[in-house]
Amino acid sequence: MKALPCALLASVVLLNGCASSGHQADTSSNAVRWWNPLSYSWSSALPWNWFGSSVAISEKGVGNITGLTAFNAETISQGIGSDYQIRQGMGTRNGQIESYIQAMKDQKVAMTFYGDTTVSKIDVTDTSVHTPNGIAFGAPFSALFQKAYGHCQPGRDSQHVQCQVPNSQHLDVIYHGEFNGPSGIMPADDTLKQWTLSEVVWHA
């Protein structure tokens, strides 16, 4: 009878020792970035997480991550479950250095966490993450908005716009589409109607 607990403990130790591995993935950002070559998956070694977990976006945060969550790789990994590999790094944006932690799935960036001592912002591109009612990855702009004025602002480039979710204090959505105008200019509403939701942003 004692053999089973010992075998289970040995399995946890072996899994924990193999939890770090390097992953490369393309990121569509104009920021200069570097990341730690070690990826962390602390929670995957825990037996109750061997079958994966479900992550959802809400006003409070993403998964178990909120504005009170410590901004470090281990805590974030535990807060989103075992489906993700975690890597961390730094980059520059608008001339400022920022730290970030990324959750990777299938060698693609699924979530990016920003913060200082605690998490302040989470960009979610993983389409398997559960979203609040009325918000759906791939949904057209017109599903939430009739016009951009009063709701949206230009995004990181001319192919993206960012809009505040109606009746929400913590959620924005990012739409992607084709636009030949310069960055910083909002496309016409008729153009935006063809754009689709590609990212959900939670902020404290």
Could you report the per-residue pLDDT of 36-84, keeping only the tens digit for each?
544 444 444 444 344 445 899 999 999 999 999 999 999 999 999 999 9
pTM greater than the 0.85 cutoff: no
> Confidence band (pLDDT; 50, 70, 90) for 34?
low
Q: What is the mean pLDDT of the chain?
A: 82
pLDDT tens profile 137-152: 999 999 999 999 999 9
> Confidence band (pLDDT; 50, 70, 90) for 95?
confident
What pLDDT score does 33 carry? Answer: 56
Kindly give, in sequence order, each residue whose CB lies less than 8 Å from that of residue 128, ignoring residues fewer than 6 positions away.
Answer: none
> Confidence band (pLDDT; 50, 70, 90) for 184?
very high
What percent of the chain has pLDDT above 90?
A: 70
- Mean pLDDT over 191-200 rounds to 97
Question: Is residue 192 over pLDDT 70?
Answer: yes
> Confidence band (pLDDT; 50, 70, 90) for 28?
very low
Q: Could you give the CA distance from residue 43 to residue 162 in angstroms, rounded to a whole number?
A: 32
Question: Is residue 7 over pLDDT 60?
Answer: no
Q: Report residue 81: phi and psi, to 5°.
A: 95, -175
pLDDT tens profile 105-126: 999 999 999 999 999 999 999 9
Q: Which domains does the chain have, with CATH numbers?
A: 20-44+54-124 (2.60.460.10), 141-203 (2.60.460.10)
Kindly give, in sequence order, each residue whose CB lies less than 8 Å from that of residue 51, ignoring residues fewer than 6 positions away.
Answer: none
